[in-house]
Every structure is written in C-alpha cells, then in structure tokens.
C-alpha cells in the first residue's frame, strides 16, 4: 500500500509537526480544541520528498549545491544565482501524474464538502522550522489544475534567495527544505488581523493586543498600513481603542487579491464590533491556557456568517515578545535613591 501523504486537518495535531509542518499541525490542533477553522487538507513533508525522489530532482539539486562548495556562503550573488538555477529546475519538472491526481482528488472532495464548485482556497507553506515570510502564499486559488500548480510553486519557493541564505546562516542543509503545504478554504473576510495574549514590547501578560483592518489580513501582517489597535484587559475585558484611518485594504478578485482603496465610510470606523473583540479574547485565552504560553494568532471575521460563527481562526503559534523584567521595580527604587542623594 502506498504511503499516505495527504491528510484532512481533522486528522492532525501538535504531535504531527514534523509530518506536516507547524502551520498544518497547529490548524489540526485548533480543530481538536473546537475552534472555528476553515476546512482543508495538508500535504505532508513526505509529499515534497516523494516529488523530489520520483522525479530525480532531489539528487540533481544535491549535486548542484555540492558543486558550489563553501563559496556559496560568501556571496549573495552566488545565492541569487543558485536560487534561479534550482527554481528553474523545479519549474521545468511537473508533478508526476499520480501525485497531481491525488491533490486534485482531495481538492474536489473539499469543494463537495463546502458545496461550491471550484472553491477558492489558500495554498500556504507549512515548515517544521519557522521561517516567517520566506516562502510563498497564494490566495483565492480556484480549480484543480491551479491548486496543483500553486502547490508546486510553494515547493519551489523553498529555494528563494532569502530561504537559501537563512539555511546557510543556521548551518542547515541548503539542498533540503522539506515543508508541508496547507490548502484551506478562503474566508469571505469582512475584517482580519492578529491577536496576541501578551504585549510584545514589554511582556505584559495582563492584557491582550488585537490589531486589524478591513478585508484580508495580509495588509496587517505585511505592515503596509496602520491597523486599528485594541488593548483588552484579561480580568475585566475593558477595551482601550486606538483607531486609525484605514485607507487601503486587500480584497479578492476573481482569481487572486489586490490592494485597493477602502470606501470612505469605512476608513475611520472600527473594523471590529465589541462583541467580536470579546469573542476573540475569550478564545485566545482558552488557547493560551491549553498551550501554557502566550499566543500569537491570526483571525478573520466572515461577512457571510452570523456572530459568533463569523469569528474564524487561521493560525496559532507561540508569541515572541520581550519578557517583563522581574527587577523593574528594584531598578526604579535604585534610580530614585540615586536621584535623591545627588540633590
């Protein structure tokens, strides 16, 4: 029997991080927690390695990088040239027919599950090692052949110049970049953004930080706009608002996304209702409790669904933040005493 290399999200959990990468494993764990997660499936690391083995590309790429020697580490131009060579090799090597059919079969089953022919999906990388922003993401992908093409392009992006440089810097094998791929239903986003269960700049764990904008969340995570900012006290759920004038948003087209002007009547309106803010906080705190560490999560509010079903989650991971200094009060007292004796 052939080894399985595609999994429904419901089959996955934290224990499958090495099998499907962090993003897919976390999405699976989120479904187990009863969170509202878009339906979809994961292409495992084994799928990537099978493609490399069956086509012979793995050996060819290994030989190519071996021929570059240590000089590759010394020159960004050599890294750029290597990226171009390897990506051209992958672009010229189509998926084996049996593998393409397997991906298309899973996509068509997802379409039937959601009751929509040519369902729009996101095709995202899912690495077992975190390399934020180094691999490609494709949104609003429609049709079996297009999904298959985008999966191949996500694999190809593991050899972007910045990904090659990252592996060289970390002492990782430069010729191997096994990743999973998430294929998940697109949400018809009214608004989207991130929530952190810790204030990242000072390690304050008494408050939750929410940032968001109208439309898809790419405008928030890319830093292209100044999003709305909400600070929510964990104890009493009081909300402190800092609203921005949101002039740009990312919206769907027939076959992708564009950055467009936000309609005037929405530019200075909050992108979240109070009940949506508190629902985000409620769920985020449950996830923080489950994992035992502060969380960095991505959310979308679906314009087609009623509250609270409209609050959808597409990512959860451990937050990165500056830890709160335990000696901060002592430092303050020392500073005050020093000032006193200097008078």
DSSP-assigned states of every residue in 283-326: HHHHHHHHHTS-EEEEEEEETTS-TTTTEEEEEEEEPP--PPPT
Tokens describing residue 258: 């564009």
HSE at residue 218, side-chain half, CA atoms within 13 A, is 21
Question: Is residue 340 scored above 50 in pLDDT?
Answer: no
Interior angle at CA 219, CA 213 and CA 225, nearest 5: 75
Q: Which of 21, 45, 308, 300 is nearest to 185 (CA)?
A: 300
Cis peptide before 47 (omega within 30 of 0): no
Question: Is residue 202 scored above 80 in pLDDT?
Answer: yes
Residue 23, helix vs strand vs coil: helix
Q: Give residue 151's pLDDT band: very low, low, confident or very high (50, 70, 90).
A: very high
Q: What is the rounded distance in angstroms from the CA atom of residue 62 to the CA atom of residue 168? A: 14
Q: Which of 175, 254, 260 is nearest to 215 (CA)?
A: 260
Give 326 or 271, the one with higher predicted confidence: 271
Q: Give residue 221's pLDDT band: very low, low, confident or very high (50, 70, 90).
A: confident
Q: What is the rounded distance in angstroms from the CA atom of residue 316 to the CA atom of residue 3? A: 29
Per-residue pLDDT reduced to its tens digit, 70-89: 889 989 999 999 999 999 99
Q: What is the rounded distance in angstroms from the CA atom of residue 297 to the CA atom of residue 26? A: 11
CATH class of 6-185: alpha beta
Residue 7, helix vs strand vs coil: strand
DSSP state of 134: S
Q: Are 180 and 19 in contact (CB under 8 A)?
A: yes
Q: What is the rounded distance in angstroms from the CA atom of residue 331 to the CA atom of residue 334? A: 5
Per-residue pLDDT reduced to its tens digit, 86-109: 999 999 999 999 999 999 999 999
Question: Is residue 212 scored above 90 in pLDDT?
Answer: yes
Domain ranges, ordered by start, for the chain: 6-185, 189-318
| Mean residue pLDDT across the chain | 92
Average pLDDT of the residues in 229-244: 98
Question: Is residue 274 scored above 70 in pLDDT?
Answer: yes
CATH topology assigned to domain 189-318: D-amino Acid Aminotransferase; Chain A, domain 1 (3.30.470)
Question: Is residue 327 scored above 60 in pLDDT?
Answer: no
- Which residues, in sequence order, are CB contacts of 33 under 8 Å at separation 6+? 286, 287, 290
For residues 139, 220, 80 and 122, what is the CA-based torsion angle, rounded to 10 degrees?
A: -20
- Which residues, in sequence order, are CB contacts of 125 under 8 Å at separation 6+? 21, 23, 135, 136, 137, 154, 157, 158, 179, 180, 181, 182
DSSP state of 135: S
pLDDT at 326: 58
0.75 surpassed by pTM: yes
Q: Are 31 and 9 in contact (CB under 8 A)?
A: yes
Determine the number of helices (DSSP H) and then strands (DSSP E) in the chain: 12, 13
pLDDT at 343: 40
């Amino acid at each position: 029997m052939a080894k399985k290399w595609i999994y429904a999200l419901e089959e996955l959990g934290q224990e499958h991080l090495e099998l499907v990468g962090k993003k897919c494993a976390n999405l699976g764990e989120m479904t187990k927690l009863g969170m509202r997660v878009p339906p979809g499936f994961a292409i495992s690391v084994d799928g990537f390695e099978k493609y490399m083995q069956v086509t012979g590309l793995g050996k060819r790429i290994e030989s190519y990088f071996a021929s570059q020697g240590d000089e590759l580490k010394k020159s960004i131009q050599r890294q750029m040239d290597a990226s171009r060579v390897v990506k051209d090799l992958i672009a010229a090597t189509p998926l084996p027919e049996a593998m393409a059919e397997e991906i298309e079969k899973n996509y068509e089953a997802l379409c039937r599950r959601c009751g929509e022919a040519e369902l729009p999906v996101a095709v995202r990388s899912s690495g077992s090692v975190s390399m934020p922003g180094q691999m490609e993401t494709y949104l609003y992908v429609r049709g079996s052949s297009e999904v298959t093409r985008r999966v191949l392009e996500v694999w190809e992006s593991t050899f972007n110049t910045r990904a090659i440089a990252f592996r060289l810097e970390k002492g990782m094998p430069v010729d191997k970049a096994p990743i999973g791929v998430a294929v998940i239903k697109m949400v018809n986003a009214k608004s989207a953004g991130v929530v952190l269960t810790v204030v990242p700049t000072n390690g304050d764990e008494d408050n939750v930080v929410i940032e968001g904008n109208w439309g898809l969340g790419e405008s928030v995570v890319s830093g292209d706009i100044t999003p709305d900012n909400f600070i929510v006290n964990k104890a009493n759920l009081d909300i402190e608002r800092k609203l921005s004038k949101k002039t740009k948003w990312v919206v769907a087209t027939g076959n992708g996304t564009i950055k467009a002007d936000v309609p005037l009547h929405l530019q200075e309106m909050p992108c979240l209702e109070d009940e949506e803010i508190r629902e985000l906080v409620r769920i985020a705190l449950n996830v923080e409790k489950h994992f035992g560490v502060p969380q960095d999560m991505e959310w979308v509010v679906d314009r087609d669904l009623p509250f609270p079903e409209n609050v959808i989650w597409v990512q959860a991971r451990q937050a990165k933040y500056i830890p709160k200094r335990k000696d901060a009060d002592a430092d303050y007292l020392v500073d005050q005493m020093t000032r006193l004796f200097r008078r």
